[in-house]
Amino acid sequence: MQELTHIDSAVFAACELPASWLRAANNRGADSRSLLQGTGLFQDDWLDPAKYITPRQLQQLFRNVCEAKIGTDTAFILGARAAQQGCLDALPLWSTSTWSHGAKTWIAWEGAHSDLSGHVSHAIAFATYMHETLRSQVGEDAVWTYYFKHRRAEDFPDAWAFLGPKIHFAQPANLICIEHSRTEVVTQAAPRTFLEDIRHRLTAWPDLTLPACARQLDMSPATLKRRLATHGTTYQRQIDLLRSSRAVEIATRRDYSVESAVHALGCGTPSNLRRDTRRLLGVTPDALYAAFA
């Protein structure tokens, strides 16, 4: 079995992106001890080029910096710092799906390991990160449109101003649409993580059961369940996330009939399609189609 990045795998150099986030917070008067709370790390760890931290520790640092209330643009700065470093380290915080249709590139995302995607700060950091990372590829004349699950939070005026006027809140999914004239946009791929590997297998074999997936990974079903639990998720949750992303992609493409959508999502019947879309995304297929018109 190949080596996969787990939530407790020490894979991120502490002196790079994490140290950059800490410096940004320290420069604004944040207390280092509060920033490190719950990370299991010490101040000297960020100066050690041989020290590596885990996704779980990176998440906790992100949460601590955002909760330090050092400015309304904190999340924006965290995303920008990651992009400025050309940093792949930030991507394991998010689970992304990307597709293109005509002159539009779409990026759907959720929190990869935890409930961080429920935080507005997490959404702002990701949107900023992707904007700064892909801007040179799509060109300055590209039109960016953002769809957030969150309702608009008035505490982040700088972030909303940076992202521009095309922002839609309280949407069925987190999504970025980029209209551009380039022939291809390449989003950076994160190193193969445990959850990414699970999603890769479910994409290749949509009907893959948990026992069958466990056999592919050379582990017992109970071990696979425990591994998923340490990431704060379940096998069914990963199936649901994949189906949600696929449903959103179908809604944006505009070239699927009801019958082809039923087949692509494995729903069986149009009534099942309506049921599953409402369960996964909280809206009907018609409302999902209208949301991303």
pLDDT at 1: 40
Burial (0-12, 13-18, 19+ Cβ within 10 Å), 102: exposed
C-alpha to C-alpha distance for 227 and 158, rounded to whole angstroms? 39
Distance between first and last Cα of the chain = 43
What's the rounded Cα separation, in Å, for the pair 200 and 178? 24
Q: What is the pLDDT along the chain (293 residues), one digit of tens a residue?
A: 446 777 778 878 888 888 888 988 888 888 888 999 999 988 888 889 999 988 888 888 988 988 887 777 888 888 888 887 665 545 566 778 888 888 889 998 877 655 555 578 888 888 888 888 888 788 888 999 999 988 888 878 888 888 888 999 999 999 999 998 765 665 555 546 788 889 889 888 888 999 999 999 999 999 999 999 888 889 998 898 888 988 999 999 877 888 888 888 878 889 999 999 999 999 999 999 899 87
CB 138 within 8 A of CB 185: yes
What's the pLDDT score for residue 112?
62
Burial class, 253, CB count within 10 angstroms (exposed 0-12 / middle 13-18 / buried 19+): middle
Nearest CA to 91 out of 62, 120, 67 is that of 62
Nearest to 87 by CA among 22, 138, 133: 133
Residues comprising the chain, all counted: 293
CA distance 117 to 88: 18
Whole-number pLDDT of residue 220:
96
Cα 282 from Cα 293, distance rounded (Å): 17
At 7 the pLDDT is 76
Tell me if 35 sits within 8 A of 25, measured CB to CB. Answer: yes
Per the structure block, which two tokens stand in for 76? 């924006």
Question: CB 270: neighbour CB atoms within 10 A?
Answer: 13
Beta-bridge partners for 135: none
Which tokens belong to 176?
């970025």
- The CA-based angle 25-96-154, given to 5 degrees, is 45
Cα–chain center distance at 98: 11
Tally: H helices and E strands in the chain:
13, 7
